[in-house]
């Protein structure tokens, strides 16, 4: 039953007007509603959202809870959740449609492939909310704040654009600070090892995901790093 339900969700995604998908790493083309091939690289805001508003990505978005919350809070901005897990994206995409949240959409693809779908300087802001910390050293390059991914984000981020990491994992938090310190083009704007110990560093941190609620119930502290990247020379 669970398997059939998952397949039903995948079928729904093909018809959702706010979902784009890529399944072939060797052929980085996105499919929109009905499986139609689309090319929105360089013009996501105009091509999908029908405006020229700034574009924010939520990477490893899962159910898209942050994208949805930010979309409600900032109607003058566009938000795109990115994840490879279709069943999770289905939840956020369906909710956005039900609530007529037209400034939120989703891209189902691997984050390693961002440069295939976004043009230099197209992204104004990135949120990385409770990603897999990949604690094993053998998977260090899969951490979304590794030097490898910083190189992926750098050309795509608009000059002055900000990247936010929100995590409960002390290892990923420490690793991120180390990674940024060793990256000449990265600059830490602030970091907090317990955001709820005092006044929130930024109001958007008040939004809580399903997983954050679980972490807090387990007595974990929530950590936050805000940083920027120099533009490409």
Strand order in the sheet with 157-167: 37-38, 30-31, 19-21, 104-108, 78-83, 55-59, 123-129, 157-167, 223-229, 186-192
- According to DSSP, the residues that pair with 106 across neighbouring strands are 19, 81
Helix (H, G, I), strand (E, B) or coil at 48: helix
Dist. CA 73–CA 78, nearest whole Å:
11
Catalytic site includes residue 132: yes
Closest CA to 34 of 14, 10, 7: 14
**CA atoms within a 13 Å half-sphere pointing along the CA-CB vector of 122:** 21
The one catalytic residue among 132, 137, 193, 230: 132
Question: Do you know the residue count of the chain?
Answer: 233
Dist. CA 110–CA 180, nearest whole Å:
22
Q: Give yes or no for a contact between 74 and 42, defined as CB atoms under 8 angstroms apart.
A: no
Closest CA to 190 of 226, 228, 161, 145: 226
Work out the angle at residue 9's Cα, subtended by the Cα atoms of residues 57 and 32, and round it to the nearest 5 degrees: 50
Would you please indicate which residues are annotated as catalytic (active-site) residues?
132
């Amino acid at each position: 039953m669970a398997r059939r339900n998952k397949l039903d969700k995948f079928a729904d995604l093909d018809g959702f007007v706010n979902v784009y998908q890529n399944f072939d790493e060797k052929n980085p083309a996105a499919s929109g509603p009905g499986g139609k091939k689309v090319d929105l690289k360089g013009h996501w805001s105009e091509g999908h959202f029908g405006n020229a508003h700034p574009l924010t990505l939520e990477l490893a978005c899962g159910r898209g809870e942050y994208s949805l919350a930010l979309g409600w809070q900032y109607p003058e901005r566009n938000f795109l959740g990115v994840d490879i897990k279709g069943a999770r994206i289905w939840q956020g995409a369906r909710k956005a449609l039900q609530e007529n949240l037209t400034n939120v959409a989703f891209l189902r693809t691997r984050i390693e492939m961002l440069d295939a779908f976004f043009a230099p300087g197209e992204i104004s802001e990135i949120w990385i909310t409770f990603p897999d910390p990949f604690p094993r050293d053998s998977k260090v390059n899969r951490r979304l704040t590794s030097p490898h991914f910083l190189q992926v984000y750098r050309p795509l981020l608009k000059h002055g654009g900000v990247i936010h990491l929100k995590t409960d994992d002390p290892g990923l938090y420490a690793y991120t600070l180390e990674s940024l310190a060793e990256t000449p083009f990265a600059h830490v704007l602030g970091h907090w090892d317990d955001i709820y110990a005092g006044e929130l560093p930024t109001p958007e941190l008040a939004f809580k995901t399903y997983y954050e609620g679980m972490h807090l119930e387990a007595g974990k502290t929530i950590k936050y790093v805000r940083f920027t990247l120099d533009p490409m020379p």
